Protein backbone atom coordinates (compact mmCIF):
# COMPACT_ATOMS: atom_id res chain seq x y z
CA UNK A 1 0.00 0.00 0.00
CA UNK A 2 1.45 3.36 -1.02
CA UNK A 3 1.79 6.16 1.49
CA UNK A 4 -0.60 9.00 0.74
CA UNK A 5 0.40 12.57 1.54
CA UNK A 6 -1.93 15.09 3.11
CA UNK A 7 -3.17 18.05 1.06
CA UNK A 8 -1.25 21.27 1.62
CA UNK A 9 -2.52 23.23 4.66
CA UNK A 10 -4.82 20.35 5.64
CA UNK A 11 -4.42 20.86 9.39
CA UNK A 12 -4.76 24.65 9.13
CA UNK A 13 -8.00 24.19 7.17
CA UNK A 14 -9.30 21.47 9.51
CA UNK A 15 -8.53 22.33 13.14
CA UNK A 16 -9.48 19.91 15.90
CA UNK A 17 -12.41 20.87 18.11
CA UNK A 18 -11.51 21.66 21.71
CA UNK A 19 -13.58 18.71 22.91
CA UNK A 20 -15.19 15.85 21.00
CA UNK A 21 -16.28 12.27 21.53
CA UNK A 22 -13.21 11.25 19.52
CA UNK A 23 -10.91 12.93 22.05
CA UNK A 24 -12.68 11.25 24.97
CA UNK A 25 -12.40 7.86 23.27
CA UNK A 26 -8.74 8.51 22.47
CA UNK A 27 -8.09 9.30 26.17
CA UNK A 28 -9.70 5.98 27.12
CA UNK A 29 -7.65 4.16 24.47
CA UNK A 30 -4.47 5.47 26.06
CA UNK A 31 -5.43 5.07 29.72
CA UNK A 32 -6.73 1.50 29.42
CA UNK A 33 -3.11 0.41 29.01
CA UNK A 34 -1.88 2.36 32.07
CA UNK A 35 -1.37 -0.04 34.95
CA UNK A 36 -3.33 0.98 38.03
CA UNK A 37 -4.86 4.17 36.55
CA UNK A 38 -8.45 2.95 36.44
CA UNK A 39 -8.14 1.19 39.79
CA UNK A 40 -7.04 4.48 41.37
CA UNK A 41 -10.02 6.30 39.83
CA UNK A 42 -12.42 3.59 41.06
CA UNK A 43 -10.87 3.77 44.54
CA UNK A 44 -11.67 7.50 44.63
CA UNK A 45 -15.15 7.35 43.08
CA UNK A 46 -16.65 4.17 44.56
CA UNK A 47 -16.53 5.21 48.24
CA UNK A 48 -18.52 8.40 47.57
CA UNK A 49 -21.26 6.75 45.48
CA UNK A 50 -24.75 6.83 46.92
CA UNK A 51 -25.58 3.41 48.45
CA UNK A 52 -27.92 2.17 45.67
CA UNK A 53 -25.40 3.08 42.96
CA UNK A 54 -22.55 1.52 44.94
CA UNK A 55 -24.54 -1.70 45.23
CA UNK A 56 -25.25 -1.73 41.46
CA UNK A 57 -21.57 -1.01 40.76
CA UNK A 58 -20.41 -3.89 42.96
CA UNK A 59 -22.96 -6.30 41.46
CA UNK A 60 -21.97 -5.38 37.91
CA UNK A 61 -18.29 -5.73 38.81
CA UNK A 62 -18.92 -9.18 40.25
CA UNK A 63 -20.79 -10.27 37.11
CA UNK A 64 -18.03 -9.01 34.80
CA UNK A 65 -15.34 -10.84 36.75
CA UNK A 66 -17.25 -14.12 36.22
CA UNK A 67 -17.48 -13.75 32.43
CA UNK A 68 -15.72 -16.58 30.63
CA UNK A 69 -17.08 -16.57 27.04
CA UNK A 70 -16.53 -14.22 24.12
CA UNK A 71 -20.30 -13.89 23.62
CA UNK A 72 -20.74 -12.70 27.21
CA UNK A 73 -17.95 -10.16 26.77
CA UNK A 74 -19.76 -8.79 23.70
CA UNK A 75 -23.04 -8.67 25.61
CA UNK A 76 -21.47 -6.67 28.45
CA UNK A 77 -19.76 -4.32 26.01
CA UNK A 78 -23.27 -3.18 25.09
CA UNK A 79 -24.83 -3.00 28.53
CA UNK A 80 -22.09 -1.74 30.85
CA UNK A 81 -23.68 0.79 33.17
CA UNK A 82 -20.93 1.94 35.50
CA UNK A 83 -18.04 3.76 33.90
CA UNK A 84 -15.77 2.48 36.70
CA UNK A 85 -16.42 -1.07 35.47
CA UNK A 86 -15.71 -0.33 31.83
CA UNK A 87 -12.03 -1.09 32.20
CA UNK A 88 -12.84 -4.54 33.60
CA UNK A 89 -14.76 -5.52 30.48
CA UNK A 90 -12.04 -4.03 28.26
CA UNK A 91 -9.34 -6.00 30.08
CA UNK A 92 -11.43 -9.16 29.80
CA UNK A 93 -11.93 -8.55 26.06
CA UNK A 94 -8.22 -8.00 25.50
CA UNK A 95 -7.32 -11.14 27.45
CA UNK A 96 -9.72 -13.08 25.20
CA UNK A 97 -9.05 -11.11 22.00
CA UNK A 98 -8.54 -14.16 19.78
CA UNK A 99 -12.19 -15.07 20.34
CA UNK A 100 -13.64 -11.62 21.05
CA UNK A 101 -12.18 -9.42 18.27
CA UNK A 102 -13.64 -11.42 15.34
CA UNK A 103 -17.09 -10.99 16.95
CA UNK A 104 -16.44 -7.27 17.45
CA UNK A 105 -15.45 -6.81 13.81
CA UNK A 106 -18.55 -8.68 12.62
CA UNK A 107 -20.90 -6.62 14.79
CA UNK A 108 -19.26 -3.32 13.89
CA UNK A 109 -20.60 -3.70 10.35
CA UNK A 110 -24.18 -2.98 11.42
CA UNK A 111 -24.05 -1.74 15.03
CA UNK A 112 -25.55 1.60 15.96
CA UNK A 113 -25.11 1.09 19.71
CA UNK A 114 -22.79 3.91 20.82
CA UNK A 115 -21.49 2.22 23.98
CA UNK A 116 -20.60 -0.93 22.03
CA UNK A 117 -18.95 1.14 19.28
CA UNK A 118 -16.82 3.11 21.76
CA UNK A 119 -15.76 -0.03 23.64
CA UNK A 120 -14.97 -1.79 20.35
CA UNK A 121 -12.71 1.08 19.24
CA UNK A 122 -10.86 1.08 22.58
CA UNK A 123 -10.32 -2.68 22.40
CA UNK A 124 -9.12 -2.59 18.78
CA UNK A 125 -6.66 0.22 19.60
CA UNK A 126 -5.11 -1.99 22.29
CA UNK A 127 -5.35 -5.35 20.53
CA UNK A 128 -2.70 -7.08 18.43
CA UNK A 129 -1.65 -5.35 15.21
CA UNK A 130 -3.10 -8.10 13.01
CA UNK A 131 -6.57 -6.81 13.86
CA UNK A 132 -5.77 -3.36 12.44
CA UNK A 133 -5.45 -4.92 8.97
CA UNK A 134 -8.69 -6.85 9.53
CA UNK A 135 -10.43 -3.62 10.54
CA UNK A 136 -9.09 -1.92 7.42
CA UNK A 137 -10.35 -4.78 5.23
CA UNK A 138 -13.95 -4.35 6.46
CA UNK A 139 -13.88 -0.61 7.08
CA UNK A 140 -15.89 0.55 4.07
CA UNK A 141 -18.62 -1.96 4.93
CA UNK A 142 -19.24 -0.35 8.33
CA UNK A 143 -22.61 1.30 7.91
CA UNK A 144 -22.81 3.64 10.88
CA UNK A 145 -20.89 6.96 10.52
CA UNK A 146 -20.27 7.07 14.29
CA UNK A 147 -18.76 3.57 14.18
CA UNK A 148 -16.46 4.63 11.32
CA UNK A 149 -15.54 7.81 13.20
CA UNK A 150 -14.62 6.04 16.42
CA UNK A 151 -12.77 3.14 14.79
CA UNK A 152 -10.80 5.57 12.60
CA UNK A 153 -8.93 6.40 15.80
CA UNK A 154 -7.44 2.90 15.81
CA UNK A 155 -5.37 3.78 12.73
CA UNK A 156 -4.13 6.97 14.42
CA UNK A 157 -3.25 5.28 17.71
CA UNK A 158 -1.38 2.56 15.82
CA UNK A 159 0.33 5.24 13.62
CA UNK A 160 -0.66 3.63 10.31
CA UNK A 161 0.54 6.13 7.68
CA UNK A 162 -0.60 3.75 4.94
CA UNK A 163 -4.22 4.44 5.85
CA UNK A 164 -4.01 8.20 5.30
CA UNK A 165 -6.07 7.99 2.11
CA UNK A 166 -8.86 6.12 3.92
CA UNK A 167 -8.85 8.63 6.79
CA UNK A 168 -9.04 11.60 4.41
CA UNK A 169 -11.90 9.96 2.56
CA UNK A 170 -13.75 9.20 5.82
CA UNK A 171 -13.21 12.74 7.11
CA UNK A 172 -14.89 14.11 3.98
CA UNK A 173 -17.60 11.45 3.78
CA UNK A 174 -18.63 11.57 7.45
CA UNK A 175 -18.77 15.37 7.34
CA UNK A 176 -21.23 15.07 4.43
CA UNK A 177 -23.25 12.27 6.05
CA UNK A 178 -23.60 13.91 9.46
CA UNK A 179 -23.05 17.68 9.22
CA UNK A 180 -25.12 18.02 12.41
CA UNK A 181 -22.52 16.10 14.48
CA UNK A 182 -18.76 16.26 15.02
CA UNK A 183 -18.19 12.70 13.83
CA UNK A 184 -15.58 13.82 11.29
CA UNK A 185 -13.38 14.52 14.32
CA UNK A 186 -12.56 10.78 14.57
CA UNK A 187 -10.68 10.47 11.28
CA UNK A 188 -9.34 14.01 11.72
CA UNK A 189 -7.83 13.18 15.13
CA UNK A 190 -6.41 9.96 13.65
CA UNK A 191 -4.67 12.05 10.97
CA UNK A 192 -3.28 14.40 13.64
CA UNK A 193 -1.99 11.42 15.63
CA UNK A 194 -0.38 9.89 12.57
CA UNK A 195 1.12 12.97 10.92
CA UNK A 196 1.99 15.34 13.76
pLDDT per residue as tens digits for the range 33-83: 787 887 888 888 888 989 999 999 999 999 999 999 999 999 999 988 888
| Distance in angstroms (rounded) separating the CA atoms of residues 23 and 27 | 6
Task: Report if residue 53 sits inside a domain.
Answer: yes
Task: Report if residue 7 sits inside a domain.
Answer: no
With 0-12 CB in 10 A as exposed, 13-18 as middle and 19+ as buried, what is 7? exposed
Task: Report if residue 139 sits inside a domain.
Answer: yes
Task: Report if residue 10 sits inside a domain.
Answer: no
For residue 41, what pLDDT is reported? Answer: 83
Task: Report if residue 117 sits inside a domain.
Answer: yes
What's the count of helices (H) and strands (E) in the chain, helices before strands?
A: 12, 0
Domains contained in the chain, number: 1
| Distance in angstroms (rounded) separating the CA atoms of residues 150 and 98 | 21
Q: Would you give the end-to-end CA distance of the chain in angstroms?
A: 21
Task: Report if residue 40 sits inside a domain.
Answer: yes
Q: Indicate the pTM of the whole model.
A: 0.91
**36 Cβ contact partners less than 8 Å away, ≥ 6 residues apart:** none
Structural domain boundaries, residue 67: 19-195
For residue 3, what pLDDT is reported? Answer: 54
Task: Report if residue 186 sits inside a domain.
Answer: yes
Amino acid sequence: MLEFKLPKHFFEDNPLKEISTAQITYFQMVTVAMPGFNEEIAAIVAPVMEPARREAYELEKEQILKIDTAEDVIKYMRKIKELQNRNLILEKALAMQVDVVPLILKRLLTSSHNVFIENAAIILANADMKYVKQLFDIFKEIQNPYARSETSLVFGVKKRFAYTSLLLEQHRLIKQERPDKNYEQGPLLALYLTHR
